[in-house]
């Protein structure tokens, strides 16, 4: 029996969940939810991390009120790559930047030219994305904030520090910085120095499943928590926590952590940094219990989220269910785009950008909102196939089933399209995989469960996924995929 508070921070919302483990089953109750989003300041896009902290404290107090017994642990997970900088007194220097800010434009290309992409990939095994912490730090080299910094705190570590008073960098979060050596699990200090970053700002590393310290006494008092729970480092990177709770019974699965991003990949025991993995720009992210997630970021439901925001600005407020129904009603086989086109990464008029990409590839632009969302979803499903085939080739094995977890589980149209285009069953659920992974890794830290296998068995016993079988009409989906390859000029794996 155990009770845990999971703080799960996403780019669109933050959730605080009360998790209970009893009799081999786990339950979650959402006790607090708040909106998250970029904070636009004169110098670019940031996160209002102090406001997030306040919401987290409200959430912890709400969990304390709701729980019918003592709470054992509290842990935070969040999106990757972003960070706060602390001065020598441990004070936060400015508001952390948002990874979709433009300050990193061109930085990655210049740095890799300077210090050699092959070496960076061999050392870190991380896919090159312009917003990896490494490139964000290089973008602020010489700036007042970095000059004054004595410690770097990734977002989950920063919140963990504010709750426990102990600053450590949990390894799954560290792995998203592209400053962790994938071979040794220690900081790649030499790489930091070659990139012109003072390696002294990199805090001590800890593994997921480490008790950091007791919750600070004043927070515990304000929340009415007695006895005082432990603050625990779990898979601080949300994707790491999400994959912990994939309800797989054996190892021949692929996962798709589906939310703002689509993180599609396979779990391995050891990283693969071969020339082929590098040419496919695959990442080897650190997981819980020593696992590696060989995966690729696909742009994900960000496309839909940004379309929705644009239409709302124009006065048409559709919710996600309505958008999904409109997409479902639009005919199969409209225009397709590469969802990972760099033009689609930053906030802005997404429907217009999608239309431009379609026209540039000689296709008519989507006619209306339904067709635009349909274009985004079909394009995502096609990109999943390209990525999964590449990953399977590098991993040297085939996935019999794809487990979809996260908020994207609710998008039945996308789940079905994924099954159809990937030509294999998709098992969708649980929706709250990240918070579950957070909770179950706390249970692991406290000795309430003893392995990743046991965690997955508990999740599988507690949640039944929805199963989507691939369509029997293979020709239609093979044709769709062939057209995707033609219009995007992407090369298939084999």
Q: Which of 313, 154, 319, 308 is nearest to 240 (CA)?
A: 154
CA angle (64 as vertex; 59, 67 as ends), nearest 5:
115
Q: Is 238 a catalytic residue?
A: yes
Q: Does 174 bind ligand LFR (CB under 6 A)?
A: no
CB of 237 to ligand LFR, least distance (A): 6
> Which candidate in 72, 230, 238, 338 is catalytic?
238
CA distance 236 to 234: 5
CB of 24 to ligand LFR, least distance (A): 29
Q: Does 297 bind ligand LFR (CB under 6 A)?
A: yes
Q: What is the dihedral of CA 55, 59, 62, 64, to 10 degrees?
A: -130
Count of residues that bind ligand LFR according to CB under 6 A: 12
Site string for ligand LFR, 233-272 (x = CB under 6 A): ----xxx-------------------xxx-x---------
Which structure tokens are listed for 434? 């990240």
Among 79, 255, 302, 384, indicate the residue that binds ligand LFR (CB under 6 A): 79
Which CB sits closer to ligand LFR, 59 or 259? 259
Task: Candidates 222-230, 231-239, 318-326, 391-399: pick the segment binding ligand LFR (CB under 6 A).
Answer: 231-239
CB of 368 to ligand LFR, least distance (A): 30
Q: How far is CA 459 from the centre of its chain?
A: 20
CB of 155 to ligand LFR, least distance (A): 9
Among 80, 125, 160, 366, indicate the residue that binds ligand LFR (CB under 6 A): 80
Among 49, 63, 81, 85, indicate the residue that binds ligand LFR (CB under 6 A): 81
Among 4, 83, 99, 481, indicate the residue that binds ligand LFR (CB under 6 A): 99
Residue partners of 77: CB distance under 8 A and separation at least 6? 6, 7, 8, 9, 156, 234, 235, 236, 237, 238, 240, 241, 434, 435, 437, 438
CB of 7 to ligand LFR, least distance (A): 14
CB of 121 to ligand LFR, least distance (A): 16
CB of 320 to ligand LFR, least distance (A): 17
Which CB sits closer to ligand LFR, 259 or 430? 259
Task: Candidates 36-44, 79-87, 224-232, 382-390: pick the segment binding ligand LFR (CB under 6 A).
Answer: 79-87
Which CB sits closer to ligand LFR, 72 or 95? 95
Which CB sits closer to ligand LFR, 96 or 429? 96
434 class by beta-carbon count within 10 Å (0-12 exposed, 13-18 middle, 19+ buried):
buried
Which CB sits closer to ligand LFR, 66 or 309? 309
Which CB sits closer to ligand LFR, 49 or 225? 49
Which CB sits closer to ligand LFR, 240 or 337? 240
CB of 99 to ligand LFR, least distance (A): 5
Which CB sits closer to ligand LFR, 132 or 488? 132
Beta pairing, strands 401-405 & 253-258: parallel
Q: Which residues of the chain form contacts with ligand LFR (CB under 6 A)? A: 79-81, 99, 237-239, 259-261, 263, 297
Give the residue numbers marked as catalytic.
238
């Amino acid at each position: 029996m155990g009770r845990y508070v999971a703080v799960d921070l996403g780019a669109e919302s933050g959730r605080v969940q009360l998790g209970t483990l009893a009799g081999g089953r786990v339950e979650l109750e959402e006790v607090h939810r708040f909106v998250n989003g970029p904070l636009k300041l004169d110098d670019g896009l940031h996160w209002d991390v102090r406001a997030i902290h306040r919401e987290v404290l409200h959430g912890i107090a709400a969990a304390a009120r709701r729980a019918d017994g003592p709470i054992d642990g509290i842990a935070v997970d969040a999106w990757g790559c972003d960070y706060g900088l602390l001065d020598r007194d441990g004070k936060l220097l400015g508001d952390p930047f948002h990874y979709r800010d433009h300050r990193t434009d061109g930085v990655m290309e210049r740095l890799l030219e300077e210090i050699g992409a092959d070496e960076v990939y061999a050392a870190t095994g991380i896919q090159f994305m312009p917003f990896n912490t490494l490139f964000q730090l290089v973008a602020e080299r010489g700036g007042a904030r970095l000059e004054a910094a004595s410690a770097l705190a990734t977002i989950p570590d920063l919140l963990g520090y504010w709750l426990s008073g102990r600053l450590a960098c949990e390894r799954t979060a560290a792995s998203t910085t592209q400053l962790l050596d994938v071979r040794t699990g220690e900081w790649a200090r030499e790489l930091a120095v070659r990139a012109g970053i003072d390696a002294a700002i990199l805090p001590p590393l800890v593994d997921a499943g480490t008790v950091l310290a007791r919750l600070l006494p004043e927070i515990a008092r304000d929340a009415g928590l007695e006895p005082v729970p432990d603050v625990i480092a779990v898979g601080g990177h949300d994707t790491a926590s999400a994959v912990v709770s994939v309800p797989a019974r054996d190892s021949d699965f692929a996962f798709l952590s589906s939310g703002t991003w689509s993180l599609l990949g396979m779990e391995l025991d050891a990283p693969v940094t071969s020339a082929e993995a590098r040419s496919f720009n695959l990442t080897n992210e650190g997981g819980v219990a020593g696992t590696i997630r060989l995966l690729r970021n696909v742009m994900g439901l960000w496309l839909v989220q940004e379309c929705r925001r644009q239409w709302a600005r124009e006065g048409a407020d559709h919710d996600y269910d309505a958008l999904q129904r409109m997409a479902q009603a639009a005919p199969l086989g409209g225009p397709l785009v590469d969802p990972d086109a760099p033009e689609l990464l930053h906030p802005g008029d997404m429907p217009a950008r999608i239309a431009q990409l379609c026209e540039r590839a000689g296709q008519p632009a989507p006619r209306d909102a339904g067709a635009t969302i349909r274009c985004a979803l079909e394009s995502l499903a096609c990109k999943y196939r390209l990525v999964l085939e590449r990953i399977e080739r590098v991993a040297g094995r085939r996935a019999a089933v794809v487990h979809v977890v996260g908020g994207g589980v609710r998008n039945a149209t996308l789940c079905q399209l994924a099954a159809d285009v990937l030509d294999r069953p998709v098992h969708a659920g649980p929706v709250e995989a990240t918070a579950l992974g957070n909770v179950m890794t706390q249970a692991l830290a406290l000795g309430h469960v003893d392995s990743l296998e046991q965690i997955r068995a508990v999740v599988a016993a507690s949640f039944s996924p929805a199963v989507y079988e691939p369509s029997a009409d293979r020709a239609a989906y093979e044709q769709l995929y062939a057209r995707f390859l033609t219009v995007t000029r992407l090369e298939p794996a084999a």
